[in-house]
Structure 1
Amino acid sequence: MHIRLKRFAGQLLFASNIFIAFLLLFENKLVIPFWLQTIGRMHPLILHFPIVILLIAMLMEFFRFRPENSANTFYRNFSQNLLLIGALFAGVTVVMGLFLSKEDGYGGQTLLWHKWTGAGIFFISSLIYWVRNKEWYKAPVAKLSSFVTVIGLVLTGHYGAALTHGENFIFEPISKQNEIAAVPLEEAVIFKDVIQPIFEQKCVSCHNPDKLKGELILTDVASIQKGGKTGELFISGNTELSLLLQRIHLPDEDKKHMPPIGKSQLTPEEIVLLSLWVKENADFTKKVIDLSTQDSLRILASARLKPSVTEEEFDFAAAEEETIQKLNTDYRTVAVLAKESPALAVNIYNRNAFSIKQLDELSEVKKQIVSLNLNKMPVRDQDLKSVSKFENLRKLDLNFTDITAAGLKELSSLKHLKSLTLSGTKVNFKDLQTQIGAFKKLGTVSVWDTELTAAQISILQKSNPQITFIGGFKDDGKDPLKLNPPQIKNTSVIFSQPTALLLKHPIKGVTIRYTLDGTEPDSLTSAVFDGKTVLINSTNIKAKAFKNGWFGSDLATFNFFKSTIKPDSVNLLFPLNRVHQAEGAHTFFDHRLGVIGANNPAWANNWAGVRDNDMTLVSEFKKPVLLSSVGLHYMIEEDTGIFPPEVVEVWGGPNAHQLKLLTRMKPSLPVKGEKPVLKSVEGNFKAETVSCLKIVARPLSKIPEWHRSKGGKALLLVDEMFLN
């Protein structure tokens, strides 16, 4: 049995070589259907297996001809079987990689090198397996082949990492830090030295000549100005209409949110920098010092370019290197601030693991700590007493902690403190005004996302001219930033029982106002969301976010759909089209709505579509149900020929042979140039007891004359049906 299985695996390896050679030879003509793209996307999951297996196999091959190994039957058989398994896994990985590379957004020299080094490993490991028992295959050949294979694995992994994370992913933190520190403020250009580093750290890994997501390149000025597949990246001076900022402010779970989930996200400071840069007409040549000294963009840019603590000479000795290493843990880093400097910077991570003990344990280096980052830790006022022990502290980050302004009195002994960040905390105007005067050397205080108003920040600024208060506002105090729209927390917008409406906003202190009657909410009369609203019927919700000192958000619209009845069996009488199969008849009752862009294979699996025949669904119920309405959710994308149904008929009765027409619906057609949209149509009728239901949705038989496909048949896409 073992010999037969091994013989079969060897034959499979030979067939894989022929198949992969064929794919590589005719790669330019290769078209991957959407259902195979799932296989391709498993490439990053599988590739680790051949790497590990082949590394072990090559290590054993390298030492194979040692006397103690060559005479060991188990060693010979095990290494040969391991090589065979590794080669087969490598073949599977190559096929998946070829499938994945055919998706949009991949190309360039890095992909080419990754593809051919990966294929080379597969062919070389296969060749070693076939010739390793030949008489001429001796120790020098075995060592050379092992060495070549390992080098190939390293190169393939390197090129793969470059495709995923960017060319300089490993050394980027070091090189970027050196680059930032080397740029004097007087010479710094806003785009080159402030904005471009943000792109490089958070965006370029997906938007470069080798990985061209959305046909957008962010590595050079010309490409940034050109934009991508969906248009220009920004409109100079207009933050509201700039695609860059729209994508950044989308909810994290939105497929179009940038950077996507799984990638390093932009910090609040970076988002503000990008917003201010676009508002300043997105200039590519202007220097930082060309802006006024009180301009928010200049203040933030200056802080990133040249932190004052790195230039200062300190009068204390450096801590022992062993002591520093001992104090580093999984949730705390202690690092030298700059080369040949005695100053230390401390960062605390993981809110759930935080305790004040993590600060008390730093007593051995309390004199050397000049920078302490406690962002998002559950630090309270009483914990600041432990912070005050770091007598030489210059920079203290307390963003989104639980402190109040009253607790700052515990820090009054920090005579060297120059930078204090309090964004997202519970500081209030009265206590902050009282406490801030105790810090004689304080230069900047960040108070974004607190209850402080623009007027209060202005008062603090006038009372303390030596301190720059950064509140996220434009320097003239009259043009605050705009809030992003509210978001929903409900896991689904389809419900069968009365459900609570859940709205949220990422910024603290925001008031969300909403309407249920189709009108646009305002900041004065519309209902304030308090978490007590319960949805009973299908509802259209319009919401806006408001906060003192900010512009109100754009309108957010959420459609909730009631669907109380689910059939016991569903069948489609006619086939769906080839691309939009979704889950067949079950698609219509899975409580999952599709998104616009259904011709994109990645999103097509939520839509059921027909063009050449009616969409006819027959549903049956084991027990008769009382039915009074039926609704359909569909897409309109007139530019690509996706239109509403021409007519929808609902038939019901005691069985499939005794059906009567319950209602007929005729949705309105879009007009020329109408933007893509998701809509629903609902037919209400006198309550009827039915055991069998037939829904017939007829695609538009003749596209309007104004369309480029006039007279042709339209595509009908439906993702959900609602029975009540």
Structure 2
Amino acid sequence: MHVRFRALAEQLLVAANVFILFLLIFEQKLVIPAWLQTIGRMHPLILHFPIVILLLAMLLEFFRFKPEYATNAFYKNFLQNLLLVGALLAAITVVMGLFLSREEGYSGDTLNFHKWTGAGIFFLASVIYWVRNTKWYRAPAARLGALGTIAGLVMTGHYGAALTHGADFIWEPVLAQQEQNAVSIENAAIYAQVIQPILDQKCTTCHNPGKIKGGLVLTDPESIRKGGKTGKLIIAGNPAMSLLLQRVHLPQEEKKHMPPAGKTQLTPDEITLLSLWVKQEASFKSKVTDLPAGDSLRLLATRYLGGGSVKEEAFDFAAADEEKINALNTDYRTILPLARESPALAVNIYNSSAFNAAQLEDLGDIKEQIVSLNLNKLPVRDADLKTIARFVNLRKLDLNFTDITGAGLRQLASLPHLHSLTLSGTKVTFDDLKTYLPGFKKLKTVTVWDTGLTGEQVARLQKQNRQMEVIGGFRDTGGTPLKLNPPQVKNASVIFGNVLALDLQHPIKGVDIRFTTDGSEPDSVHSSLFDHKTTFVKSQTIKARAYKNGWLGSDPVTFSFYKSAYKPDTISLAAPLNAVHQAEGARTFFDHKLGVIGANNPAWANNWAGVRNNDMVFVSEFKKPVALSSVGVHYMVEEATGIFPPQSVEVWGGADAKSMKLLTTFKAQMPVKGEAPSLRTAEGSFKTQTISCLKIVAKPIEKIPAWHPSKGNRALLLVDEMFLN
């Protein structure tokens, strides 16, 4: 290397040491702009160069003092230049890595170890470069420095790989196989032995405590239940609404597709397992064998674990063509073998909004092989039972909560092997069952709860049909009643003008909904019974529970309703919003749409307006003066991600923009460390004022509290609605 260029490179090396030391000291105060984030993301691209160059330089340094090399001028100059280049490239890599680490999603001990070992390599390489020509630097020091640098490179690479691929990436195949072999099918848990291994292999490289992309951790049940910045990951019982399955089913070219393009993708079986698991309420404790023998999740989980199934009866019909089965499998219809090497098939159809008669008619090519059919909660009608009657080997049929009537039952009586029929929640009557049940010669169980039959009628049916069991109540393997789901709000919006007619609902017929408005827990006797006559004329929070004889009461659920009597005629923002949280601009505050936890939830992406570096200043005008006495601001609190309430809110009003005066200033309750994310309202009241012009100034917290990892920084303020009364 030319002397002048070497001198310049040495000056750059000194500057790099000072700059990196500065970054490490003031790292918590760094705010990385978008263009520097791009440079930071080049860290994985360039890091291989200093690794290779420093490894080569340290190997040469280790043997530098051997007699045959000590006097070789080329060896000496080449090694010195190689070490200088390696140290400078290491400096660039460290700076890029520090920029990258400031992005959201990187935290934990693994990141700290990777950061400090990487920086340590750079400082050690710099020290070796500066002292290697001193008199005291001899073979022992050279060898010690070379070995220390190589060891540091190995450690840094290990922690970097753990960040990228997960802590157990190297031994994962062996550990997974050992764990899988150690658990029998009878003892295997659906989550621990089936679902978690899929997440570990395909998801946790980016969603672990050391690399929390999107605020999401997928290494334990509690974190999975919590979800991430984009909201809840799983809606138990509803795969279509679960963000996990939504992201998986996006096209690979979509930015939000998971796993990201370039990563190992989920197989069709793995996607089906995740979907079925969510469909089965996403239990973290259930065993595989807790599911019915013909259940799709049990069958596929058994195959995934490599085990056999429970003993099934022998079938005398041929297996269906595998290509036909694959062609008939869709996102809303799964067809799986009942057991290994068995020709019998179990069919499950999902999604009531997508169901039509063709989904049953399409199964004509495999009608002889279908022995189990699940149509639970689908809009199946009596006309569809003609198609089902052609499945001559059907053993089990689930028609719970479908639209069939007793008139259609006579078409099913011709099925020669049907031994299990569930009719819960349907419109069948006692007279229907009394007429048609005797025609089912092989039927062993029929379930008729929630059909309106009385206990006496069920007993009479049982006496008439002694060869079968008529189940008229609720039971599970423990013999305990089932718990009702919580009530739901049917109102189009929880924000109203002057009067709200409360509208609650429950999917189960005959349920009583009890509610309270004083914050107490509703009971089944004393609390108000919802009767479609309740109205609210002011903002109100209620607690509600569902009750029904034969069921356990639901968990209590809380609903908040917000009055907003006035909507401005003109709306504008006098200060810019955060570049990430633009929402619909000023219109967001009066669109009667509340956001949800997680500012980037795709279902509510346009409902959060945010500011960090300036105040949120909102100005509005009314064509006709209004009598205003209070202003409310609805905001999000998620302290873990630096989203805090407003530090203060000022309300200004007057006849026009020039004559506005301060009407009130109010503050919001501050969160405490570890507090769960929540949606809240802060409200300020004042003496009634007749105004035509209104200005609201919401100020973000200037310094996040000392207990927070981002202490001292400005907080992010997110607002989705304002209430004027």
Q: TM-score range by the shorter chain?
A: 0.5 to 0.7
Label 1:401 to 1:269 Cα distance change in 2 as closer, same or farther (>3 A).
farther
Distance 1:476 1:705, change over 3 A: same
Equivalent residues of 2:394, 2:417 under 8 A apart: yes
Report if aligned partners of 2:513, 2:546 keep a CA contact under 8 Å in 1: yes
Conserved in 2, the CA contact under 8 Å of 1:296 and 1:470?
no
What corresponds to 1:558 in structure 2?
A: 559
In structure 2, runs of 5+ residues without a counterpart are 1-34, 47-99, 107-182, 210-214, 250-270, 303-307
Residues 429-456 of structure 1: per-residue CA shift (max 9 Å, x gap)? 7965886565453345566776679999
Q: Which residue of structure 1 aligns with residue 621 of structure 2? A: 620
Q: Secondary structure at the match of 2:657?
A: coil
Counterparts in 2 of 1:260-659, with a 5 A limit?
A: 260=246, 278=285, 288=289, 304=299, 311-314=313-316, 378-380=379-381, 393-404=394-405, 408=409, 411-427=412-428, 439-445=440-446, 473-477=475-479, 479-496=480-497, 498-507=499-508, 509-577=510-578, 579-598=580-599, 606-611=607-612, 613-659=614-660
Q: Matched residues in 1 for 2:297 and 2:329: separation?
A: 31
> Which stretch shows the higher mean deviation, 263-272 or 433-442?
263-272
Does structure 2 conserve the Cα–Cα contact (< 8 Å) formed by 1:457 and 1:471? no
Contact 1:472 1:480 in 2 (8 A): yes
Cα distance between partner residues in 1 of 2:233 and 2:454: 28
2:514 partner letter:
R
1:191 to 188, 192, 195: 188
CA RMSD of aligned residues (A): 6.0
Distance 1:598 1:625, change over 3 A: same
| C-alpha deviation, 1:661, in angstroms | 3.3
Displacement of 1:561 after TM fit? 1.9
Residues 575-613 of structure 1 deviation map (CA, whole Å, 9 limit, x = unaligned):
445554444444323333333344899978643444565
Q: What code does the residue aligned with 1:476 have?
A: G
CA contact (8 A) 1:335 1:345 kept: yes
CA distance in 1, matches of 2:617, 2:625: 21
Unaligned stretches of 5+ in structure 1?
1-18, 31-98, 106-185, 218-226, 289-294
SS in 2 for 1:588: helix
Q: Given the two structures, how large is their TM-score scaled by the length of structure 2?
A: 0.54
- The Cα of 1:646 is off from its aligned counterpart by 3.7
Change (3 A) 1:234 1:562: closer
Alignment deviations for residues 230-283 of structure 1 (CA, whole Å, 9 cap, x no partner): 773169xxx9x9989x965569699866544885899998568667771xxx56
CA contact (8 A) 2:474 2:550 kept: no
Q: In 1, distance between residues paired with 2:421 and 2:387?
A: 16
Query: What code does the residue aligned with 2:608 have?
Result: W
1:1-20 per-residue CA deviation (whole Å, 9 max, x = no partner) reads xxxxxxxxxxxxxxxxxx9x
Task: After superposition, give the CA deviation of every residue in 1:441-479 in whole Å (9 maximum; x if it has no partner).
Answer: 3345566776679999999999969759698743232x3
Counterpart residue number, 1:215: 207
The Cα shift of 1:529 comes to: 3.7
- Structure 1 range deviating more: 264-273 or 690-699: 264-273
Q: Deviations over 1:196-230 (max 9, x none)?
A: 79749xx95xx35344497269xxxxxxxxx9727
Larger deviation, residues 296-305 vs 623-632:
296-305
Partner SS for 1:657? helix
Match of 1:232 in 2: 220
Counterpart code for 1:616: V
Aligned counterpart, 1:677 = 678
- Structure 1 residue 28: Cα displacement: 3.6
Maintained 8 Å contact 1:273/1:297: no
Counterpart residue number, 2:663: 662
Letter in 2 for 1:488: V
2:221 alignment partner AA: L
Q: Are the equivalent residues in 2 in contact too, given 1:356–1:383 (CA < 8 A)?
A: no
AA in 2 matched with 1:188: I
Identity of aligned residues (%): 51
SS in 2 for 1:209: helix
The answer for the alignment partner of 2:168 in structure 1 is: none
2:577 touches 2:609 (CA, 8 Å); kept in 1?
A: yes
2:42 matched residue in structure 1: 26
Q: What is the CA–CA distance in structure 1 between the aligned matches of 2:497 and 2:532, rounded to whole Å?
A: 19
User: 2 CA distance for matches of 1:197 and 1:26?
Assistant: 37
Task: Check whether the contact 1:190–1:301 (CA below 8 A) recurs between aligned residues.
Answer: no
Question: Does the Cα contact within 8 Å between 2:642 and 2:716 map onto a contact in 1?
Answer: yes
Judging changes above 3 Å, is the alpha-carbon distance between structure 1 residues 457 and 565 closer, same or farther for their aligned structure 2 residues? Answer: same
Alpha-carbon spacing, 1:348–1:615, altered in 2? closer, same or farther (3 Å): closer
- Following the alignment from structure 1 to structure 2, what is the Cα–Cα distance between the partners of residues 378 and 505? 18
Q: Give 3-state SS (helix, strand or coil) of 1:648's partner.
A: strand
Structure with max Cα Rg: 2
Summarize deviations over 1:483-519 as a string: whole Å, max 9, x none.
3433334443333364544434455554433334433
Amino acid at match of 1:524: V
CA separation of 1:299/1:524 partners in 2, compared to 1, >3 Å: closer, same or farther?
farther
- Secondary structure of 1:680's match? strand
1:717 lines up with 2:705 in the alignment: no
Letter matched to residue 658 of structure 1: S
- Hey, what's the Cα distance between the residues in 2 that align with 1:269 and 1:334? 12
- Secondary structure of the structure 1 residue equivalent to 2:188: helix
Mean CA deviation greater in 683-692 or 457-466: 457-466
Distance change in 2, residues 1:524/1:456 (3 Å): farther
SS in 2 for 1:426: coil
Q: Could you tell me how far apart the structure 2 residues matched to 1:622 and 1:475 are?
A: 66
For 1:403, the aligned partner's letter is I
Shift of the 555–196 alpha-carbon distance from structure 1 to 2, 3 Å rule, reads same
Preserved contact between residue 514 and residue 522 of structure 2 (Cα < 8 Å): yes
Are 1:630 and 1:722, in contact at CA under 8 Å, matched by a contact in 2?
yes
Residue 652 of structure 1 deviates from its aligned partner by 1.4
Q: Contact conserved, 2:422 with 2:446, CA < 8 A, in 1?
A: yes
Alpha-carbon distance in structure 2 between the residues aligned to 1:382 and 1:449: 23
State the match for 1:91 in structure 2.
Answer: none
**Is contact 1:444–1:470 with CA below 8 Å preserved after alignment?**
no
Q: 1:431 to 1:27 in 2, by over 3 A?
A: farther
8 Å CA contact 2:473–2:550 kept in 1: the answer is: no
CA contact (8 A) 2:237 2:280 kept: no
In structure 2, how many angstroms separate the alpha carbons of the residues matched to 1:701 and 1:400? 55
Provide the C-alpha distance between the structure 2 equivalents of 1:268 and 1:25, rounded to a whole number of angstroms.
Answer: 33
Q: Secondary structure at the match of 1:693?
A: strand
CA separation of 1:431 and 1:309: change in aligned 2, threshold 3 A: farther
d(CA) in 2 for partners of 1:346, 1:229: 34
Say which SS state the counterpart of residue 401 (structure 1) adopts: coil
